[in-house]
Structure 1
Amino acid sequence: MLLGALGTILLVAALSLVLAALRVPVLGPAGLVVGVLASLLLVPAALAVLAVRYWQSMYGREGYFTMSIPVRGRSLFWAKTLYALIVAVLAGAVSALGLATATVVLGLSRGLSASAAFDALGDMLDSVGTPMIWFLAVVLLVQLVFAVLCGAAIMSISAEGRFNRLGFGAPLLGWVGLYVVMQGAGLAAMLFVPLGLTIGGPDAGTLVAQGMLQEFLDALQSSGAGGQQQVDVLGLGVIPLTIAVTALLSWWGVRSIERRTSLR
């Protein structure tokens, strides 16, 4: 199921980018757009398939076999989530490669030579900067860990006897609730937690012991006065918040598997 879904997306992306690189009339420009969209779709598709398989193998018909394996619930949880995380990280790496390829193909479609197109990609990466690239990679990794572990934990909690009558609707409600909570708590963390990243001026890319509350208030005042305030500090409080929520839900999910699993 996983190989079929991701393999199809990869094939579509590859064929589309080839059409764009060859500058095929009509199909070439459309192929570039399809190639970019397919590359971006890889990680969400992988997470969706992994979520479905986790639910089926733990709490669907296959759950009776899974729960008969003579290991503790935490072993089941970590085996499945670590596998899912490896798949998600690989999908993310392939997605990044696809986007980089699309950048080169864009240069080729505009008549640049292959070397010039690769030079343009290198210039773009240099403009972003190595520290920022590593920072973005860490942020994306944290988000993938959050998505995989919290998704599995919510499904395990939703499979308890008091919730499982809702079927797969229970984890869907759990995900919606988590999203709403994280939006509100994430905004508060960005404003008040003294951890930020300078994104403007000569010190851009450096960490500072500062939230973005003052930046937020200044932006509100500037907006009310009809102006536009430039934000120089990006609050990073959402990162420790995400790690803490991931740890809490993982503990809760393991506890639910070991103490409250209810198969219908």
Structure 2
Amino acid sequence: MITLLKHEFLRTRSLLGLLFGAALAVVAVAVVFVMTDLPLFSSLGAQLILIAPTVLVGALPLVLGIDYWRSSHGRTGYFTQTLPIPGPRIFAAKLVWSFTVILAALVWALALVLIGSALTVPNFGATLQELWTSTTALLPLPILVVGVLVMVWMLVSAPVQYFFAASVGSEARFGRLGAAAGPIIVFTVLYFVYQVLVLAAMFLLPLAIGPSGGGIGLIIINLTELASSNDIVPLGFVPVMVLVPVVLIWRTAVSWKSKISLA
């Protein structure tokens, strides 16, 4: 596993370094813009400090998905498939590496936002403390911790849908459709299945976080309330977003084991 992870690092370090470096460069320029005190540049700079790290984290799953397809099933994929290593182990290495990259991107993005804001926002420390105090006053700490963990998992597992589409879409049943057609079809079907599952889960689990007893707590809602209120955060979709990636990981591993692996 260590050797495979090292190979993933060496293979992707240039591209990832470019993306991480680009986010840093944009934030650095944005800080300079804010410091000019010119209204147009200052406003643009303040927005870029938030936008650049967000784009980095948002774009990485797709970038990793494309790289996964190219290195596993594209032109260079044949070499990967001929390695004398069980397919699921190769997939596990790619999966662990993608998780590591997304986690690193989250830390990098948070650092860029905090440093950029500290350099441009007066009394940023006091503002941050006030934000934390008001947040913990509204949300109980256990709910806040669970919410953060769920959000991190959703971001870290985002590449899984692309891995699933690339591997299942490259199985023999899709072979005659062309190299890219299978993954595109599988991803499209998966997208619609996701929407149906989320909608069904929100009907079956009508829980939300919203105003309750003068504070914030768990409440039971109907879907019509979501359109009429901005104070309600539905929770029904959470089990789908947490559990479906686990199922996709299992099915992708099956694809590597019985339909792709040559080991």
The two structures share one fold, judged by TM-score above 0.5: yes
Between the aligned partners of 2:96 and 2:147, the Cα distance in structure 1 is 21
Between the aligned partners of 1:96 and 1:64, the Cα distance in structure 2 is 38
Aligned partner of 1:240 in structure 2 is: 239
The 8 Å contact of residues 149 and 250 in structure 1, kept in 2 or not, is answered as yes
Instruction: Give the direction of change, closer, same or farther, for the CA distance of 1:176–1:10 in structure 2 (3 Å limit).
Output: farther
Aligned length: 243
The 8 Å contact of residues 161 and 262 in structure 1, kept in 2 or not, is answered as no
Between the aligned partners of 2:56 and 2:128, the Cα distance in structure 1 is 21
Give matches, 1:33-44, under 5 Å. 33-44=47-58
Partner amino acid, structure 2, of 1:67? Q
Q: What's the Cα RMSD here?
A: 2.9
Give matches, 1:205-224, under 5 Å. 206-207=217-218, 210=220, 212-213=221-222, 216-217=223-224, 219=225
Give matches, 1:93-132, under 5 Å. 93-104=107-118, 107=121, 112=122, 116-129=123-136, 130-131=141-142
Between the aligned partners of 1:169 and 1:125, the Cα distance in structure 2 is 47
Aligned partner of 1:83 in structure 2 is: 97
Partner amino acid, structure 1, of 2:47? V
Higher RCO structure, 1 or 2 (CA under 8 Å, sep 6+): 2
Aligned partner of 2:81 in structure 1 is: 67
Aligned partner of 2:12 in structure 1 is: none
Partner amino acid, structure 2, of 1:161? A
Between the aligned partners of 1:90 and 1:170, the Cα distance in structure 2 is 31
1:58 aligns with 2:72: yes
Partner amino acid, structure 2, of 1:239? V
1:18 aligns with 2:32: yes
Instruction: Give the direction of change, closer, same or farther, for the CA distance of 1:104–1:175 in structure 2 (3 Å limit).
Output: farther
Identity among equivalent pairs (%): 26
1:173 aligns with 2:185: yes
Instruction: After superposing the two structures, state which structure 1 stretch, 160-169 or 245-254, moved more.
Output: 160-169
Deviation of the 1:40 alpha carbon: 0.9
The 8 Å contact of residues 187 and 238 in structure 1, kept in 2 or not, is answered as yes
The answer for unaligned runs of 5 or more in structure 2 is 1-14
Measured against aligned partners, the alpha-carbon deviations of 1:55-105 in whole angstroms (never above 9, x if no partner) come to: 111012221221122221111111101100111111122223333345445
The answer for unaligned runs of 5 or more in structure 1 is none
TM-score by length of 1: 0.78
Deviation of the 1:262 alpha carbon: 8.9
Q: Secondary structure at the match of 1:82?
A: helix
| Aligned partner of 2:149 among 138, 145, 152 | 138
Partner amino acid, structure 1, of 2:241? T
Partner amino acid, structure 2, of 1:100? L
The 8 Å contact of residues 85 and 145 in structure 1, kept in 2 or not, is answered as yes
Q: Secondary structure at the match of 1:70?
A: coil
Instruction: Give the direction of change, closer, same or farther, for the CA distance of 1:178–1:6 in structure 2 (3 Å limit).
Output: same
Q: Secondary structure at the match of 1:199?
A: strand
